[in-house]
Amino acid sequence: MVSASDVVSLAMRIPFRVVPAVSPDAPLRLLTVHAHPDDEASKGAATVACLNARGVHCVLVCCTGGEAGDILNPEMDRPDVRGDLAAVRESELARAAAIIGYDEVVMLGYRDSGMKDSEANAHPGAFANADPDEAVGRLVAIIRRVRPQVIVTYPDARGEYDHPDHVQVHDVTVPAFHAAGDPDRYPEAGPAWKPSKLYYTMWSRARIIGRHAKFLELGIDSPYDDWWFERPSRDHLLTTKVPIGEHWDVGVEALRAHATQIDPSSPFWFGLPDDVARTIYPFDDYRLEVSHVGHPAEGDLEDDLFAGLRGTTTATG
């Protein structure tokens, strides 16, 4: 059993907020913006590992501390963990980020807003209640310091997952992407920097169908009920499929690092044997929302978030 003290002790040996400035020998830079500790593990972790292995400088912005999250692993649902959940989740984040290969983790500094219509929504420090101009300005300052060519965040979650923090991540990141390159916006946040590409993370219907079919083939109860298939497919919006086969295990290990949030017996995450699950859909999916360096030809899919940018040292456009 992993205790809270074990998690904290391990995390203290792993760099967390490191790299105060962008390394001069890392010409390509990625910035991902996530809502809570654990989102970086469930959305695109293997992609970041692939890019890090190719020398891309990878920075994670985590917008909240996850204070309002439930403890989903019964073994971690203890008074010592519940009493300091934010610190435990920050330690879990440190471990997961190190596993994935992030060079830096930046906390945007807001409180977890909790699920929609929960008591946590009313907290004055909740991310969902942040002043929009202030929140965008905080992120603009990070973008201008890191100088990423590529930013990855969420599509608009309204009407689907609808978590207030995921909605807010979208609503803050998109305007920050555009404002960062405008010297007249947020002049106090540093010299303007224009990122080249903005992506949204996606979970394709093809991935869900493949996993569901494998559960049934192996005679295992599938965690994918009708709700998953009644939702409209958005596969037609996909522009980018990143092969992640060589780094598939990174996502699994990063998930397991979030011991409070991920039940090791969860059929959704771990119901299939690893050697089977890794072969079903070895891709991470994205939608290219904005590009100043061109788009893939109609009918084509990119296989690299830095398509059109390899060999460059600054954002274009």
The residue length of the chain stands at 317
Contacts of 226 (CB under 8 A, 6+ apart): none
| Ordered structural domains, the chain, with CATH | 4-18+26-204+236-291 (3.40.50.10320)
Q: Could you report the per-residue pLDDT of 68-97, keeping only the tens digit for each?
A: 889 999 999 999 999 999 999 999 999 999
Quickly list DSSP for 23-42: -TT--SEEEEEESSTTHHHH
Q: Which residues of 215-236 are buried (b: 16+ CB within 10 A; e: fewer)?
A: beeeeeebebeeeeeeeeebee
Q: Could you report the per-residue pLDDT of 284-304, keeping only the tens digit for each?
A: 999 999 999 988 888 899 999
Per-residue pLDDT, 297:
86
Give every residue of the chain whose pLDDT is below 50, as ranges.
Answer: 1-21, 23-24, 312-317
pTM: 0.89
**Tokens describing residue 264:** 């090791």
Question: Do residues 165 and 68 make contact, with C-beta atoms less than 8 angstroms apart?
Answer: no
